Each structure stands twice: as C-alpha cells, then as structure tokens.
Chain A
C-alpha cells in the first residue's frame, strides 16, 4: 500500500509539473494574448490539479501511518482546487475581455507570428 500510494503520488506530481512546463512553453510559443491564455489555462486546471492530487495521495499515506488528524489536510487540498476552479476562469475571462476592450485583434492564420 505504501509503495502504491508513493508511486501514485509521484506520478501525479511529475505529471502536474509536466503540464505546467508545457503550459509555460505554450505561453512562449503562442502568437497573441488570446492564444497564450489557452496555454496559461493548462497550468492551473491540470498542472496545479495534478500536483494537488499528488499531495492528496501523500497525505492518505501519512494517514495510514497513524496521522489521523491529516484528513483536515485532505479537506484543505480539495478546497484549494475548488477555489482554483472558481477563480481561474474568471481571471482568464477578465484578461480576454480586457484585451478585446483595449482593441487587441485576435491573431488569425496567415499573419506573421509576433
């Protein structure tokens, strides 16, 4: 059980870091602010989500070792992801809307990449 939880925890955290790296890479590669937002969105839905999942597996492992009060940590991890799911799309939406209000034209195929 220890080995399984440890492995799951590692897989999730490494996966989360991978998605954060890909998201960052995407922000650097994409041509304009709107397409960059798509890449940035990956880091907080999937990147942070998988890292939190990894922490949750680790916490469950600790609980099996007698740290019974750690269920509160699990609750907090879930709450963090819940608030991320509530706030990150609003921030993304606000950025995109600010761009449109400021007159930034969405990049389309055929244009030179900035």
Chain B
C-alpha cells in the first residue's frame, strides 16, 4: 500500500515537472491520470520490490557518478579505436560472473555493462553474463570486478 502511494507521488511529481500548467482543472487531470496508472500497475501485479524499487534509489544515486565516469572513460577509448586508421578491434564473446542475488541487481549490472561502450550484454543466464566485447585486449577485469561489486551493493539497498 505504501509502495502504491509512493509510486503515485513519484508519478505526480513527474507530471508536475513536465506539465507546467498549474490550474485546478489540469491539476485534477494530472491526479486522475496518476491514480489510473497506479491502478493499472496494481492490476498487472507490478507494485512490488522489483517494479517499484524504492530501496535501491539512494544507493543508485551514489553509484551513478561512478558509472558516468566509467562511461566517459570508455567512450574516449572507443572513440580512439574508431578514429585509428587501422581500426584495432578484436571482438570476442566472453562470460562474466555476477555476484548479484536478485533479478533487479542483475538488470542493473547488465545495463551498466551495456552502457559503457566497448561491452554489450547479450544474455544473462543465472549468474553468468554473456558479453560481446569490442576489444578483448582492453577488458580490464579490475574495472569489471569493481562494477560487479558496486552493483551488488546497490541491490542490497
């Protein structure tokens, strides 16, 4: 129940930020649509720790700056590869082992891997993440281990 109210509050905040119209009529439309969305989400059985993951939000915001830094560094690497006349790539499929215990944590880790250019998650099976890497030589395992650890920390909330 608390989760449903939380979801409604977040949705209405989002509506307020996007609308820019604050007359009583339009505000009531906003409230109405938020209530409708929460009701549909409830009917779809989506309001649980996975669909409305408030417990990871704080950790997620602590994780984001580090992730953005990683994205920045990886982008520079890939840009260098693309602009190199020899195009020095050595693509390979590799398997990483993730330490996340929940599907939510695994989704965060898999998306983090895909967000950093040079690695794309192509499949997840249990704890094994199948990755397509642009440069096998560049796979800095320390970085990947750090990302795995940080994602697990986020998942624990």
Residue of B nearest to A90 (CB): B111
Pair A22/B82 contact, Cβ less than 8 Å: yes
The interface residues of chain B lying within 8 Å CB-to-CB of A41 are 78, 114-115, 117, 120
Total count of chain B residues near the partner, CB < 8 A: 30
Q: In the assembled complex, how far is the CB of residue B14 from the closest CB belonging to chain A, in whole angstroms?
A: 8
Q: Which of A26, A34, A46 interacts with B82 by CB under 8 Å?
A: A26
The interface residues of chain A lying within 8 Å CB-to-CB of B111 are 86, 89-90, 93
A38-B117 contact given A22-B79, A26-B82, A76-B18, CB 8 Å threshold: yes
Pair A106/B91 contact, Cβ less than 8 Å: yes
The interface residues of chain B lying within 8 Å CB-to-CB of A23 are 82
Cα-based distance from A42 to B134 in the complex (angstroms) = 13
Pair A89/B123 contact, Cβ less than 8 Å: no
Cα-based distance from A30 to B71 in the complex (angstroms) = 20
Interface string of B60-82 (1 = CB under 8 A from A): 00000000000110010011001
Residues of B participating in the A interface, judged by any CB pair closer than 8 Å: 14, 17-18, 20, 71-72, 75, 78-79, 82-83, 87, 89-93, 110-112, 114-115, 117-118, 120-123, 132, 134
Residues of A participating in the B interface, judged by any CB pair closer than 8 Å: 19, 22-23, 25-26, 29-32, 34-35, 37-39, 41-42, 45-46, 49, 72, 75-76, 79, 85-86, 88-90, 92-93, 96-97, 100, 106-109
